[in-house]
Amino acid sequence: MTKYIWFKLFAILFIVGVLIAICVVEDRVVVSSLNEVKNYCYEIEETAKKNGIVDGEVASLVDNLEYSWIVNEGKMCFMVNHKSIEQLGIEIVRLKTYIDEEEPIEFFVSLEIIKHYVETFQHFMGASFHNIL
Amino acid sequence: MLTIVARAIIIYLVVLFLYRLMGKRQLGQMQPFELVLTLIIADLATIPMAEVSVPVLHGIVPLLTLVILHFVLTFLSKISNKFASFLSGKPVIVINPDGIDYKALKNLNLSVDDVFEAIRGCGYFKIEQIQYAIMETNGKMSVLPKSQYAPVTVEDMHIETEKSAIPINIINEGKIVKENLPIADIDESDVKNILEQAKIRKVKDVLILTVDKNGSVYIQKFNEKYQTMQLKPLGQVQE
């Protein structure tokens, strides 16, 4: 085999490897990021129901959620359309405002919206027959 | 804007690399599946370039997938003739010694005007000059003229000719192409001799200098008419 054929073969294997790596990394990053957000949401909901939303622990959990989302959003932006995930960030910011304004109904609505986005997105990103077609 | 510039560079390099990997076919020589691939690649490449919210990977991943698919199809075409004809079709004879094969034309969705246009492109203006015309899988027409209309060749004339030789670039736009010297079997002193013979003082004055294996030299200065000469024996210049 000539040098060029070896190069071609290597390039093809490299491309296949890159594609597999991208798919695996995407799945890992997206699933773990969204699960982290979901877990924070459940924790915030539980604490807020127990102590009310004007509570230091709730505020601290929301801050943690915001920080973790900033970190995870940065990773997800390599693989996901920015517009598809920007609403999640907006809702997290709203949570903080509702704590400051002491609006529990809006706070819980926002929390539900975040959970809904996360679940929808997990469904949307998964490899399924519906998504392929 | 800097993001768009960077994305454009990345995607350009990726597409360039992929096209180099796929080979050097030109648009007119492409098989149907290659043409489809080219059209899709062109479209895919522009999406992440113009839309900043779309990750570059959204453009690159489908591009890489299509290239892999292209290699798989090419490989299958090579190992199976049936698959190759399914993918690219088969050459079809549209003109035979009896004239135009109308049934073949209908199958190819061609009109008689299309056939005339294609044979004119091959240098023939009358159907009766043609023995066979074949529509190739890449959409080009190949024409075999009747023997009385075929161009006369040197062999027909029984003339003895020198063997054809490829001219090798020795000087290109004022610079010696050093890697070509051993291919032409000459060295820099031979080049100097040629330049002296052509009354040219400096290499940088030469637009092009070619030498072929038969020793034929073509030399042209910038903005001047060309000269030709013969190297014989090799290394000594003789007009």
For A91: left if phi > 0, alpha if psi spans -120 to 50, otherwise beta; the answer is: alpha
Name B228's bridge partners: B218
Domain ranges of chain B: 2-85, 92-149, 168-238
| Residues of B with Cβ-Cβ distance to A80 under 8 angstroms | 55
Q: How far is the CA of B36 from the CAs of A84, B27, B57, B79, B110, in angstroms?
A: 30, 11, 21, 22, 21
For the cut 60, the answer to whether the pLDDT of residue B238 exceeds it is: no
Cβ-contact B216, B208 below 8 angstroms: no
For the cut 80, the answer to whether the pLDDT of residue B159 exceeds it is: yes
Residue A19, judged by CB atoms within 10 A of its CB (0-12, 13-18, 19+), counts as middle
Domain ranges of chain A: 25-126
- Model-level pTM? 0.69
Superfamily of domain B168-238 in the CATH hierarchy? bsu07140 like domains (3.30.240.20)
Over residues B11-30, mean pLDDT: 77
pLDDT of residue B208: 94
Interior angle at CA A95, CA A32 and CA A119, nearest 5 = 35
Query: pLDDT-derived band of residue B235, with 50, 70 and 90 as boundaries?
Result: very low
Q: What is the CATH number of domain A25-126?
A: 1.20.120
Residue A78, min C-alpha distance to chain B (Å): 6
> Phi first, then psi: what are they for B137, rounded to 5°?
-70, -20
pLDDT of residue A122: 81
Interface contact B53-A82, CB threshold 8 A: yes
The tokens for A116 are 């809904």
pLDDT digits over B69-109, tens only? 888 888 888 888 888 888 888 899 999 999 999 999 998 88
- C-alpha–C-alpha distance, residues B57 and B62, integer Å: 8
Interface contact B53-A18, CB threshold 8 A: no
Interior angle at CA B58, CA B55 and CA B62, nearest 5 = 160
- C-alpha–C-alpha distance, residues A26 and A20, integer Å: 10
Over residues B181-210, mean pLDDT: 89
Give the ipTM.
0.74
Residue B60, judged by CB atoms within 10 A of its CB (0-12, 13-18, 19+), counts as buried
pLDDT digits over A32-83, tens only? 888 888 999 999 988 988 888 887 888 888 889 899 999 888 888 888 888 8
Q: What is the CATH number of domain B92-149?
A: 3.30.240.20
pLDDT of residue B26: 60
Query: pLDDT-derived band of residue A2, with 50, 70 and 90 as boundaries?
Result: confident
Q: Is the fold of B92-149 the same as that of B168-238?
A: yes
| Residues of B with Cβ-Cβ distance to A12 under 8 angstroms | 68, 71
